[in-house]
Structure 1
Amino acid sequence: MEREQEELQFLGIGGIFVEAQKMILAWRRIFAKIAVSLIVPLSVIFLLHVEISDRMFAKIDRNEQALEEAPEGSLREERLIDRLASEWASYAAFKAVYLVVVLVLSLLSTSAVVYTVACVYTAKEMTFRKVLTVVPKVWRRLVVTFLWSFAVLFAYNAVALLVLVPTLLLVGTGAGGVAFLLVFVPAYLAGLVYVSVIWHLASVISVLEERYGLAAMEKSKELVKGKAIVACAIFLVFHVGFVGIEVLFRKMVARGRGHGDAARAGFGLVLLLLMSLLVLEALVVQTVVYFVCKSFHHESIDKSSLADHLEVFLGEYIPLKASDIQLEHFRL
């Protein structure tokens, strides 16, 4: 990064994006290698999942409609029931495999990008081979953080349902129910975005500090104070981008058979490129947000200590200790 740490705290949404873009362009070779080896496969799997899921669900939907029209107790009904059971089992198995593969590639991509950005921050010499050496040892810490984040998200949604369902049963779906939903839905979405931001920042902490899991999420919650609006706005920008690409892919490629195979392939390649660039940008930006939050709270990070702890000693990744990364608060 070209800016001194004291200056990072003043970066807003635009400044963070500019800083991330400068970093990607300055180190485009190594980021390109990370993208090709990890992020592009992740994007390919995500987009293929959209098309395969669409086809599988369309087939299930046709068979369910046929089941409704089949005579009750007939041989046709029995065959359709067996076929639907098999198709739903295949769909569930496909989703499970997809989630596992996406999780692994996502964590590996996060590890690689966060480590690379930290090396850039410390002006530490790095190679793509060194990044690949460190990544498998770092991502296991991210797994613990992900599991805790998933547990928090599950609990959040469970509590939301416990509030939503009894309230609607009590007040009904009339004017009172509509008024309640007008308050509940925005509050729920705001909380969901906030928890997601905490999770993403905790992923960076899990790579660069000794904290991981619930401890990383607690530290993330502390760091995001004062920068929550900026962090949430950035998250929404990327989320809208991801949803937009998914919608376009489903419309123009998965369900766009009227456009012709060549046009569909062209749309697919363009959307794959956009998805890969967006994922790379998002991972770099979330790491820059970490340094911005550290600067905002006047938590100085000694670059030489950070560089030392980014090294690989005897094949072991040595994460930063709190004493290294939580140095004395600097005075402006």
Structure 2
Amino acid sequence: MDRTEEDMKHVGFFGIFKQSFKTIFTRKKIFSHITLVFILPLAITFIIHMEFSHHHFWRFQNNLLPLDTNVSHRATTMEWFYYALFTFAYFIFLTIFSTLSTAAVVFTIASIYTNREVCFRDVIKVISEVWKRLCVTFIFIYIVQFIYDVIGNIVMGIIKPIIFDYEIFGLVLLIIVSILYAYGFFYLTVVCQLASVITVLEKIHGFKALKKGKALASGKKSVGMGISFVLYGVLVGIIIVNLLFVEYGHDVFKWALIWRVLIGILCGILLLMLLLVLIVTQTVLYLVCKSYHREVIDKLSLSTFLDAYIGDTMVVPRLGDEIQLGCPQPLAQQV
């Protein structure tokens, strides 16, 4: 993080990736600890959900898309209950580990940006301070994404008869709707990612964090959406490789178990790296957006703000004032 505040606002798509990878490789020790302690459980949660859903809940897909077969594979009421219970547990663990990973990485990046020495013990202290706010923000993110998906499904339900009745026109309409949906999805992703960083560094959470994230995204929207597109594309690629060469490697390619295990391990390592890069890039994007909107991040004030998290500094705000980056910092007293 050797760029000035003025330089940060000119950082673009490739610059954010370059700065993110440079930051990770120059502080490999702390990021290795964060990856093993926080991001690894997040990756395991994702893999368990993917594998469990694939092997045990295939009936639900058949309920929606019946196969041309004489054998009925309809899910029972109890299986629906288990599926709902599993999904609920998945989102709980996903929220917990996403909260821990985001708080740890965002604090570390902010500390590096202010030229502070950061140790793993400080990261643990910060997590205990911000996890409740982050959980609230993630719940709002889930709600917004759920509403967006519901709207998307309603639109698809409306145009489905047109798609099947008018082949050429239906195909064109499907492509247009898919592009619009993807555009909205990646834009929403950028807003949600910025909101999670804002929750850690500006003491704003929930809907207010999403609103602030939307404001910050303007001007750098295309850059953020491009980054999300690339990272989610890599994620889809990892999933496809896992399905082709690990899940169906024996049936399709007749590969031995050892090769499937090795590829599975490689996919797991790539997933770990991808999740780390995802959180780092969204934090760097936040810094770029703040500079772009001339919300100058004073490094001394930010350092004082971070000290307050780990108990080295007691920040006493003025009445009605709130500690936020880009605003005058209140009086700080050393403990």
Scaled by the length of structure 1, the TM-score of the pair is: 0.85
Q: Residue 75 of structure 1 corresponds to which residue in structure 2?
A: none
Structure 1 stretch displaced more, 141-150 or 223-232: 141-150
Residue from 179, 182, 205 that aligns with 2:198: 205
Q: 1:92 to 1:68 in 2, by over 3 A?
A: farther
Structure 1 stretch displaced more, 292-301 or 260-269: 260-269
Scaled by the length of structure 2, the TM-score of the pair is: 0.84
RMSD between aligned residues: 3.1
- Distance (Å, rounded) in 1 between the aligned partners of 2:151 and 2:261: 43
Matched, 1:309 2:302: no
Residue from 245, 261, 264 that aligns with 1:252: 245
Equivalences, count? 318
Q: Which has the higher contact order (CA 8 A, sep 6+)?
A: 1
1:212 is displaced (CA, Å) by 1.1
Matches within 5 A, 1:60-79: 69=71
- Residues 136-171 of structure 1, C-alpha deviations (whole Å, 9 max, x = no match): 321221111122222222333333444443455589
Q: Which amino acid aligns with 2:108?
A: T
Q: Residue 291 of structure 1 corresponds to which residue in structure 2?
A: 287
Q: 1:99 to 1:253 in 2, by over 3 A?
A: farther
- Residues 17-48 of structure 1, C-alpha deviations (whole Å, 9 max, x = no match): 11111111111100000001111222123223
- Residues 73-126 of structure 1, C-alpha deviations (whole Å, 9 max, x = no match): xxxxxxx97x84444433333333222212211111011000110111111222
Matches within 5 A, 1:1-332: 1-58=1-58, 69=71, 84-166=76-158, 173-174=165-166, 175-257=168-250, 258-311=254-307, 312=309, 324-327=324-327
Give secondary structure in 1 for the equivalent of 2:203: coil
Structure 1 stretch displaced more, 49-58 or 133-142: 49-58
* Contact 2:201–2:324 (Cα < 8 Å) also in 1: no
- Distance (Å, rounded) in 2 between the aligned partners of 1:46 and 1:146: 16
Q: Residue 331 of structure 2 corresponds to which residue in structure 1?
A: none
Q: 1:61 to 1:141 in 2, by over 3 A?
A: closer
In structure 1, list runs of 5 or more residues that go unmatched: 71-79
- Residues 247-276 of structure 1, C-alpha deviations (whole Å, 9 max, x = no match): 211222233344222212211111111110
- Distance (Å, rounded) in 2 between the aligned partners of 1:107 and 1:226: 27
- Distance (Å, rounded) in 1 between the aligned partners of 2:297 and 2:107: 15
Q: 1:219 to 1:313 in 2, by over 3 A?
A: same
* Contact 1:51–1:254 (Cα < 8 Å) also in 2: no
1:189 is displaced (CA, Å) by 1.6
- Residues 264-300 of structure 1, C-alpha deviations (whole Å, 9 max, x = no match): 2211111111110111111111100000011111111
User: Matched residues, percent identical?
Assistant: 33
Structure 1 stretch displaced more, 137-146 or 44-53: 44-53
